[in-house]
Amino acid sequence: MTAMTTMVAARLHKYGEPMRLDRIPIPEPRATDVLVEVKACGIVPNLARVVANFFGTQAPDPKAMPPLPAIFGLDPVGVIAKVGEQVRSIRPGERVYVNPARKCGSCRMCRSGQTLDCPNFTFQGYFGRSQEIMKAYPYGGLCQFITAPEDALVRLPDNVSFEAAARFGYLGTAYAAMKKLDVGPGQTFLVNGISGMLGLNAAMLALAMGATKILGTGRNAALLEKVKALSPRRIEVFAVPDRKGEPAGPADPLVAWAKSMTEGYGVDSVLDCLPPGASATALMRALYTLRRGGRAANVGAVMEVLPMNAFWLMTNRIGLQGSVWFTTGEGEDMAAMVAAGTLDVSPLEHRSYPLSQVNEALAAMNDRNGGFTNFIVDPTRAE
């Protein structure tokens, strides 16, 4: 048997053009890196916008994008094929999710363990703040083998499929924010945009984390009913009427509904998961559902400036926090929850495309069953 020395990679040569399948050398892992044979890679709707030059030449900082030709792919899962000579505790054959969050490793934040706050924070296979890190880890999951640092690996239990693990990016983003909010027993938790890619995962996690009541907003009534069906006793949904142009306020119908669900108090915590293009008012409406002392976190993509009433924030003791991505340790938490059966990932509907159809996969992402559809590219099918 001769060792394989080359692989197929989907590479973007120019923004606005389709990706091309190229044959390139399989990389060698450095001493503290591993080589992963990719079995599935989750793709996100925003990747289609990135590739179509959404950021491209109009980027506020072109240094945020990887050098071309680039291999994208944010959520790779696979099997360890080879380990660097200093890698101690993970061996070839193990199944892993590769957390794409890269950091410099030696700045003040990295040294204190707050790696998500590294000023050079960069997503392998996507974009980020350091060209040097992008050059050191140029392999996104849309190819057959990638190198990754040993400390970025989440070991996967046998009962989580590669397809479900390829959703860990969304799940982890919600999970890290929900930990900041102390979502758990006795708590009422509202997910703003519960039927979307992030929001659905937040609902699944809230069930796993023991939240007593999970409230959710959305626009599509059929999708909302499908979310409620995950746990009809614990999940309540509210189809938000179109109130464009009307300012948010404590008298909003959403606020009245949330109070009616919480004996008049309002909810303990809010996670905003609204998609790109959603209005600042839609986010503010959700904040007004908070009880006195309640806390909110934002992982959504609202770009508008919030009409925030600082006096209301102060007098009601409201907390508002931004959150991006998750640590590898938080990824391990999720793997453990799936292994224990507390986190049920079976509601996800996998839609898998061979690597040879990566451009078709990106084009198809607007046609989805809300957050239930899980878009996967399978690099083992490259011909």
Closer residue to Zn ion, CB minimum distance, 104 or 223 = 104
Interface segment toward Zn ion; rule CB under 5 A; list 107-115, 136-144, 209-217, 369-377:
107-115
Check residue 104 for interaction with Zn ion (CB under 5 A).
Answer: yes
What is the nearest approach in angstroms of Zn ion to the Cβ of residue 105? 6
Check residue 87 for interaction with Zn ion (CB under 5 A).
Answer: no
Closer residue to Zn ion, CB minimum distance, 122 or 374 = 122
Closer residue to Zn ion, CB minimum distance, 64 or 301 = 64
Closer residue to Zn ion, CB minimum distance, 107 or 280 = 107
Check residue 364 for interaction with Zn ion (CB under 5 A).
Answer: no
Interface segment toward Zn ion; rule CB under 5 A; list 56-64, 87-95, 108-116, 304-312:
108-116
Packing angle of the helix pair 253-260, 280-287 (nearest 10 deg): 30
**Total site size for Zn ion, rule CB under 5 A:** 5
Work out which of 103, 129, 167, 213 binds Zn ion, going by CB under 5 A: 103
Check residue 107 for interaction with Zn ion (CB under 5 A).
Answer: yes
Closer residue to Zn ion, CB minimum distance, 55 or 126 = 126
Interface segment toward Zn ion; rule CB under 5 A; list 100-108, 152-160, 267-275, 337-345:
100-108
The residue to which tokens 């973007």 are assigned: 12
Closer residue to Zn ion, CB minimum distance, 119 or 276 = 119
Residues interacting with Zn ion, by CB under 5 A? 103-104, 107, 110, 118
